[in-house]
Amino acid sequence: MTNPEPIVRLEDLHKTYWTGAVSVEALRGINLDIRPGEYVSIMGPSGCGKSTLLNLLGCLDRPTTGRYLLGGQDVSQLDDDLLSEIRGTRLGFVFQSYNLVQQLTVLENIEVPLYYQGWPEDRSRAVAEKLASRVGLDSRFHHRPNELSGGQQQRVAIARALVNDPLVILADEPTGNLDSVSGADILAVFDDLNQAGKTLIMVTHDEEIAHRATRIVRFRDGQIEKDVTLREPPYQAPADRAAATA
């Protein structure tokens, strides 16, 4: 095998919404493989189905037909509890509007995914502290989201997305609510993450931002219009390198 196992594999994925008598086909047969270490931008006009795709990739929703393999495991028809577990252990989310819990402090927000996995408090606190320092929030451990700037809030969200060591980090317009300076800051963090071998999938409108990724997938009317790999992913997991040299 020359190519490493894909970390995300979509096979003929369909998603249809029924609103009363009218049915809307949001996704019409998506086939997509994403390998570990890739940084994928998903682009397309609004209504093209990219939000639907992100919901499916995030296990927040189930496809109508088709298969979705995440890390080799078919998650397309799991029940609600198992999907929750997948979200909590294998996925990280970064949202456009940060989506932090307002009544929790920075550290507590970062700990939320570990809390639902039953981590002991001292251990999850230690991990959260390390991650918060890494994203440059040393002095703000016990601040609440409303005491932070947008850029800082998004850093908290990134730390939270990393805390459970996910297979894939999903980002939905992560710089959409930020000014250009803090936006660039966040994108730099993303670059770092990708350098370190993290697999990232990012939905964006902005061509310039999209080109920082290693690959761009363009959508139109619920189908993939164009899929371009810009460059090789910068980092390959040791197992993959071993497979490549073998």
Partner 1 sequence: MSPDLHPSQLWQQVTTATHRPPVGWRLALTRFQRIIRLGLKSIWIHRLRSLLTVLGIVFGVCSVIAMLAIGEGASYEAQEQIKSLGSQNIILRSVKPPEDEKASANRNMVLDYGLNYPDIRRIQMTIPGVTVVVPGRIIREYIWNITRNVDAEVVGTVPWYPQMRNHRVARGRFMNEMEMDDMASVCVLGQEIAARLFPWQSPLGKSVRVGSTYYRVIGVMEARGRQSKPGDSSSGAQATAVDQMFIPLTTAKMRFGETIFKQRSGSREAEKVALHEVTVKVAEREQVVPVSRAIQELLERNHKKKDFTMTVPLEMLKQSERTKQIFNIVLGSIAAISLLVGGIGIMNIMLASVTERTREIGIRRALGAKRRDITVQFLVETVMLSATGGIIGVVLGISIPFFVTLFAGMVTIVTLWSPLIAFTISAAIGVVFGLYPALRAANMDPVEALRHE
Nearer to partner 1, 125 or 218 (CB): 125
> Quick check: 134 binds partner 1 (CB under 8 A)?
yes
- The mark string for 87-106 relative to partner 1 (x by CB under 8 A, - otherwise) is xxx---x-x---xxxxx---
* Token reading at 51: 């939000």
Do residues 7 and 35 lie in contact, with contact meaning Cβ atoms separated by under 8 Å?
A: yes
- The mark string for 196-235 relative to partner 1 (x by CB under 8 A, - otherwise) is xxx------------------------------------x
List of residues 6+ apart from 224 with CB closer than 8 A: 30, 31, 32, 217, 218
Nearer to partner 1, 143 or 218 (CB): 143
* Token reading at 39: 């940084």
The only residue of 119, 125, 176, 223 in contact with partner 1, by rule CB under 8 A: 119
CA angle 182, 168, 212 (to 5 degrees): 45
Do residues 129 and 141 lie in contact, with contact meaning Cβ atoms separated by under 8 Å?
A: yes
Residues binding partner 1: number (CB under 8 A): 48
Longest Cα separation, the chain = 56
> Quick check: 143 binds partner 1 (CB under 8 A)?
no
The CB-of-208 to partner 1 minimum distance in angstroms stands at: 22
Q: How many CB atoms lie within 10 A of CB 21?
A: 5
The footprint of partner 1 on residues 65-84 (CB under 8 A) is: 80-81, 84
DSSP result, 14-43: EEEEEETTEEEEEEEEEEEEE-TT-EEEEE
> Quick check: 182 binds partner 1 (CB under 8 A)?
no
Residues that bind partner 1 (CB under 8 A): 55, 58, 60-61, 80-81, 84-85, 87-89, 93, 95, 99-103, 112-113, 115-121, 123, 126-127, 130-131, 134-136, 160, 162-165, 189, 192-193, 195-198, 235
